[in-house]
């Protein structure tokens, strides 16, 4: 990659800059004002599931500090704020009675965004499924898909006129694969049959919700956010190359194909089709909805080899051994911005897609304050190189409309608890004092340059 400093002039004129968060990761106030529990409350309160047994009970205390947090976002000179609604704050049981106190919180937040001329980019589901729905099987139950559409309708009715955009799911790969197959995210199950059903019913929930919201708010831009993998074979061997193709069909294709082509990849169907709900074919039309945009979240490439264990399920791939010389972030993820550029170009070659926002990109570096300053130069370099990759993709004709840094501030990093920091703003978890890091000042300067051009 070209490591020279990126300038806003390398990006399209109307390019949008933003910062992103998610409800469970920052809000706290888990038991306040009538919020119902979610699967992440249950999971994080189960000993041994999260590093240090951390949980989101208090998180960044954003529920109480939302106003100064919006001021902070404004200080970063960005155009937009991406956040998620907490389903169980709005509907404590997932369905039925609306919690007006929860509605009031998001009323305040949205009015606060608009008063500061920040465009609200909202997400309906960033993994915190109401526990009451998990008791009926969560995403393995078809009824959860219709409950999701009902919830979407409430959000559209109450908030739709104030939103700049609405996405259905954030990274449905994580809430199905990490949650129901690998067991490292809530609800913590390890069951391939459940994971395949969860993939399908999330897609169905998406399709039902898009149709419902479109009918109510035809001018509200609608989309979905995917964490696609940029996949490379670990070696040149034929077996590893085939494994990379299968890995991609499972991890990207099983999401992109139904959403954007109205079908599942044929190899996926051949290997795992019997695990899809009966008559899954009848849902494909509903799932395949026209979208105004989609969001791409990207952090690191996937390097895979053939899994020689003959009992391994499709896609029979495994992580390639790590190259000890390769640069990684503090969470151990390879840093390689050109793989981001490759992915943006490849996905538009393969699919007919609407315009894209980079809805998350960023890096975990656990720098702490020294004399009150956080000099996270490694994050500055990472962001610089990845935004340069976006500029290169735009120059190659890829319609990327904006870039959201993950994250506004350090927060509850799921199974890693509070040990992994992705923020542009440092959070002291004892005092909740926020301090803008060097990367935050750097990003603010880039965004400012854009608004002046």
* Closest C-alpha among 203, 100, 111 to residue 162: 111
Backbone angles phi, psi at 446, to 5 degrees: -65, -45
* Nearer residue to ligand IFM within complex by CB, 25 or 306: 25
- Annotated active-site residue 100? The verdict is no
Looking at 12-147, which runs of residues are DSSP E strands? 16-20, 80-84, 119-125
CB of 324 to ligand IFM, least distance (A): 23
The one catalytic residue in 171, 248, 249, 413 is 171
User: CA-to-CA distance for 360 and 295, rounded, in angstroms?
Assistant: 8
Kindly state the smallest distance separating residue 362's Cβ from ligand IFM, in Å: 7
CB of 225 to ligand IFM, least distance (A): 9
Distance CA 379, CA 144 (A): 39
Size of the site for ligand IFM (CB under 6 A): 8
Q: Which is nearer to ligand IFM, 8 or 336 (CB)?
A: 336
Q: Catalytic: 249?
A: no
Q: Which two tokens stand for residue 237?
A: 């061997």
Residue 355 buriedness (CB in 10 A; 0-12 / 13-18 / 19+): middle
| Residue whose beta carbon is closest to ligand IFM | 22
Residue 406 binds ligand IFM (CB under 6 A) = yes
Distance CA(299)–CA(229), nearest Å, equals 9
Of 178 and 344, which has the nearer Cβ to ligand IFM? 178
- The only residue of 54, 240, 360, 385 in contact with ligand IFM, by rule CB under 6 A: 360
Instruction: Say which residues have a Cβ less than 8 Å from residue 279's Cβ, sequence separation at least 6.
Output: none
CB of 171 to ligand IFM, least distance (A): 6
Residue listed under structure tokens 């729905």: 133
Nearest distance in Å: CB 2, ligand IFM: 26
Among candidate residues 27, 153, 249, 360, the one labeled active-site is: 360
Binding string, residues 288-317; x marks residues near ligand IFM by CB under 6 A = ---------x--------------------
Residues 55-84 that bind ligand IFM (CB under 6 A): none
Closer CB to ligand IFM, residue 316 or residue 339?
339
Residue 69 or 413: the one with the smaller Cβ distance to ligand IFM is: 413
Residue whose structure tokens are 């960005």: 78
Among 250, 293, 422, 442, binds ligand IFM (CB under 6 A): 422
Nearest distance from residue 222's CB to ligand IFM, in Å?
20
Q: Which is nearer to ligand IFM, 265 or 423 (CB)?
A: 423
413 touches 329 (CB < 8 A):
no
Residues of span 21-60 touching ligand IFM by CB under 6 A: 22, 25
3 state SS of 92: coil
Q: Which is nearer to ligand IFM, 212 or 421 (CB)?
A: 421
Determine whether 207 is exposed, middle or buried from the number of CB atoms within 10 Å of its CB (0-12, 13-18, 19+): buried
Report H helices in 175-253.
192-216, 238-248
Q: What CA–CA distance (Å, rounded) separates 287 from 202?
A: 9
Q: How far is the CB of 412 from ligand IFM (least distance, A)?
A: 8
Instruction: Return the residues of window 151-190 that contact ligand IFM according to CB under 6 A.
Output: 171
Out of 133, 283, 413, 450, which residue is the one contacting ligand IFM (CB under 6 A)? Answer: 413
Torsion of CA 88, 223, 448, 440, to 10 degrees: 50
Distance CA 107, CA 113 (A): 10
Judged on CB neighbours under 10 Å (0-12, 13-18, 19+), 382 is: buried
Q: Give the span between the Cα atoms of 374 and 441, in whole angstroms.
A: 11
- Catalytic residue numbers? 171, 360
**Contact positions toward ligand IFM, by CB under 6 A?**
22, 25, 171, 297, 360, 406, 413, 422
């Amino acid at each position: 990659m070209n490591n020279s400093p990126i300038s806003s002039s390398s990006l399209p004129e109307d390019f949008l800059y933003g910062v992103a968060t998610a409800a469970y990761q920052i809000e706290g106030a888990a038991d306040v004002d009538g919020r119902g529990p979610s699967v992440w409350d249950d999971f994080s309160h189960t000993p041994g599931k999260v590093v240090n047994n951390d949980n989101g009970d208090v998180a960044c205390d954003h529920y109480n500090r939302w106003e100064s947090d919006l001021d902070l976002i404004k200080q970063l000179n960005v155009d937009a704020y991406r956040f998620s609604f907490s389903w169980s704050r709005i509907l404590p049981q997932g369905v039925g009675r609306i919690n007006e106190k929860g509605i009031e919180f998001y009323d305040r937040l949205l009015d606060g965004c608009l008063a500061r001329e920040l465009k609200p980019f909202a997400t309906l589901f960033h993994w915190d499924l109401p526990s009451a729905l998990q008791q009926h099987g969560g995403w393995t139950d078809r009824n959860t898909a219709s409950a999701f559409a009902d919830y979407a309708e409430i959000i559209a009715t109450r908030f739709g006129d104030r939103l700049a955009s609405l996405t259905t799911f954030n990274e449905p790969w994580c809430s199905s694969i990490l949650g129901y197959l690998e067991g490292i995210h809530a609800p913590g199950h390890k069951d391939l049959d459940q994971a395949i059903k969860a993939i399908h019913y999330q897609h169905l929930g998406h399709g039902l919700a898009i149709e419902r919201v479109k009918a109510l708010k035809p001018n509200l831009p609608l989309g979905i956010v995917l964490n696609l993998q940029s996949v490379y074979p670990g070696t040149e061997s034929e077996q590893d190359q085939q494994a990379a193709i299968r890995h991609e069909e499972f991890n990207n294709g099983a999401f992109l194909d139904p959403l954007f082509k109205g079908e599942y990849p044929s190899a996926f169907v051949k290997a795992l089709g019997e695990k899809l709900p009966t008559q899954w074919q009848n849902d494909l039309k509903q799932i395949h909805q026209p979208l105004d945009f989609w969001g791409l979240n990207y952090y690191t490439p996937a390097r895979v080899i053939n899994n020689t264990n003959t009992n391994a399920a499709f896609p029979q791939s495994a992580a390639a051994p790590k190259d000890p010389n390769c640069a990684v972030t503090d969470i151990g993820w390879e840093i390689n911005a050109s793989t981001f550029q490759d992915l943006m170009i490849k996905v538009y070659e393969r699919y007919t897609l609407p315009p894209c926002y980079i809805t998350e990109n960023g890096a975990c570096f656990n720098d702490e304050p020294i004399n009150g300053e956080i000099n996270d130069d490694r994050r500055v370099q990472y962001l610089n190189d990845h935004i340069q990759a976006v500029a290169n993709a735009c120059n190659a004709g890829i319609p990327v409309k904006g870039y959201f840094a993950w994250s506004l501030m350090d927060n509850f990093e799921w199974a890693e608890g509070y040990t992994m920091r992705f923020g542009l703003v440092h959070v002291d978890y004892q005092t909740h004092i926020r301090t803008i890091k060097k990367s935050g000042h750097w990003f603010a300067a880039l965004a400012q340059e854009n608004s002046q051009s």
